[in-house]
Chains A and B, each alone.
Chain A
Amino acid sequence: MPKKISRIRYIEAIIFSLWITLKNLFRSPVTVLYPQEKRDIPERWRAGTFALTTDRESGEENCIGCKLCELICPSDIIIVEFEKHSGRGWAKRFYLDLQACIQCELCVQVCPTDAIVMLRGMAEPVTNREDLILDKGKLMSNEKLYEAAWATGIKLQTLHEPKKSVAES
């Protein structure tokens, strides 16, 4: 391309890039100054910790100790001990090691009774490693910390049912 025209275009492009940075100087910054300001957490957020839920009406635990979550976890972080009394199964001990969790939600997806859920809140930092290994008591008390995420086990399983007719989407 001829030299004269390219020189003028070069100068235009230089001035244009200076103009863009000057324009951004007068816009307000996009930073959210955590922890003074916090962002709104979206509805389907699921990156908090875990909790074991209890039944709304009767108040007894939902977990029947079926060990499906233990079998499907890719990182092998869940340990469940099963016992049977009063006509149904219970989880005698339940350990979940948060250090290796990859937040894949497979354990929530397979649970037949909506017992294990992820919570809709920010994961809190801790100061020793032992606090990251959650036992059953901590998991039961986590239920009161935040509300459960949008995706619980039974909801996902209904969502995945292959529909016979072309009903709702």
Chain B
Amino acid sequence: MEGNSDERIIEREFGELALNMGPQHPSTHGVFRLQLYLRGETVTKVTPHIGYLHRGVEKLSETLDYDMLPPVFERDDYLSPTANSLAYVLAVERLAGFEVTRRASYLRVLTAELQRVASHLVAIGTFGLDLGGSMGGGATLFLYCFRDRERILDLMETLTGTRFHTNMNQIGGVRYDVYPGFDSEVLSTVKYLVNQVNEYRSILEGNPIFLERTKDVGIVTQELAKEVGASGPVLRATGIPYDLRKNKPYCSYDEFNFEIPIGTIGDVFDRYLVRIKEISESISIVTQVLEGLPEGSINTRKPLKRATLLKPPKGAEAYAAVESPRGELGFFILSDGTSKPYRIKIRSPSFSNIALIPEIIPGHLVADAVAILGSLDPVFGDVDR
């Protein structure tokens, strides 16, 4: 069997089979190379290789002005775009000292929570594909989840004009405002989604095949999660109640009433359960936003005439983090007095989450490796930037 020479040596000396779940694979959620060392069907060692989607966005941001950057950063974590631009915009507002009106905060929360629901629907749908194959029950679950996600994207389309990379967040506020019939459309979509979520829960959580594939598989302990720096649903499934929306509230999240779902053991089933309960919580936040939307303007800066008006003081630095559907997404900005930032560093949640892979996959079968990778929900635009 052909392979490069270190694979040959491994096979001869240790009696293991080196298998490449290579950059092109139907279930690695993006371009990602995972080198598995198998003994029979059991995985003994795992080596991940990343970097296939590196686009150099942190270096690119040193050549663009502050106002031009929100649409560029939306392409980082491409499954929930407004989370990225929200984190960037919060960091710049902290750097330059802008205040934001309450109405703008509420609209930011609205788009962020709707995109959180959409992202979790994608996570559950592709999780079904990993477990059940692209021909079979997994594909059915996938298509149902995407059919529901289309309703949310239709809402974003009526509000902003494009479905996905909406460019809603701007420095100082948001770009678009709601129109008079928006409430009723959102509420009807929300009612439909609540029914669908209940249906998914009753299909999956009693199904013996699903339970046997996901219970006690890929257990992440609390110490391991803290050591690696995991965040988001991966951390909350282990039992640690840490959510940035409650512990370090930003953008008027402390005015809303919602729970944080927490798991017990930290296996694949708990991560799925945390995500599907978060969908219900996000839906309740959306209804609260619409009920309590305050009056006011949506932007506090003068309208954008020239991009070079924003010049933060030299040597100022700021860090702002939001709770994206994958975890803590943070932006650190250092300015040198000109209109272009000196250095922007992105703390990406998926990068820390996939550091769990070499620790928890050994000892499981190949089928479990795929299920564990799907439950960690990495997005490779976020890992490689």
A: residues with CB less than 8 A from B are 9-10, 12-14, 16-17, 20-21, 24, 30, 42-47, 68, 71-74, 102-106, 109-110, 112, 149-151, 156-163, 166, 169
Contacts and interface: CB of A to CB of B under 8 A. Distances in A.
A9 B161 contact: no
Interface of B: 64-65, 67-69, 71-72, 75, 101, 103, 137, 140, 144, 147, 150, 154, 157-162, 165, 167, 173, 175-177, 199, 202-203, 205-208, 295-308
Nearest to B307: A72
Contact of B203 (A17, A30, A156, A159): A17
Nearest to B296: A166
A161 B303 contact: yes
Contacts of B69: 74
A103 B206 contact: no
B340 to A, nearest CB: 12
Contacts of B297: 160-163
B67 A106 contact: yes
B140 A74 contact: no
Given A13-B206, A20-B203, A151-B176, A68 B306 contact: yes
A103 B158 contact: no
Contacts, number: 124
Given A46-B161, A110-B306, A166-B296, 7 more contacts: A13-B202, A13-B208, A16-B206, A158-B303, A159-B176, A159-B177, A160-B303
A110 B300 CA distance: 16
A47 B304 contact: no
23 contacts: A10-B207, A13-B205, A21-B140, A30-B150, A44-B157, A44-B160, A68-B306, A71-B307, A71-B308, A72-B68, A73-B68, A74-B72, A102-B71, A109-B175, A110-B306, A156-B175, A157-B303, A157-B304, A160-B301, A160-B303, A161-B303, A162-B101, A169-B296
Contacts of A166: 295-296
A44 B177 CA distance: 11
B11 to A, nearest CB: 41
B136 to A, nearest CB: 11
Give me the 9 closest cross-chain CB pairs, A-B, nearest first.
A13-B206, A104-B71, A46-B161, A157-B303, A160-B299, A10-B208, A163-B297, A74-B68, A44-B161
A110 B162 CA distance: 19
Contacts of B203: 13, 16-17, 20
Nearest to B297: A163
Contacts of B165: 102-104
A44 B167 contact: no
A21 B296 CA distance: 47
Contacts of B303: 109, 156-158, 160-161
A102 B176 CA distance: 18
Contacts of A9: 206
B298 A68 contact: no
Contacts of B205: 13
Nearest to A102: B71
Contacts of A161: 297, 299, 302-303
B212 to A, nearest CB: 10
Contact of A30 (B147, B176, B199): B147
Contact of B157 (A12, A13, A45): A45
B161 A74 contact: no
A162 B301 contact: yes
Contacts of A73: 68
A109 B300 CA distance: 16
Given A150-B161, A160-B303, A162-B300, A169 B177 contact: yes
A68 B101 CA distance: 27
Contacts of A30: 147, 150
B98 to A, nearest CB: 11
B305 A110 contact: yes
Contacts of B308: 71
A167 to B, nearest CB: 8
A157 B299 CA distance: 10
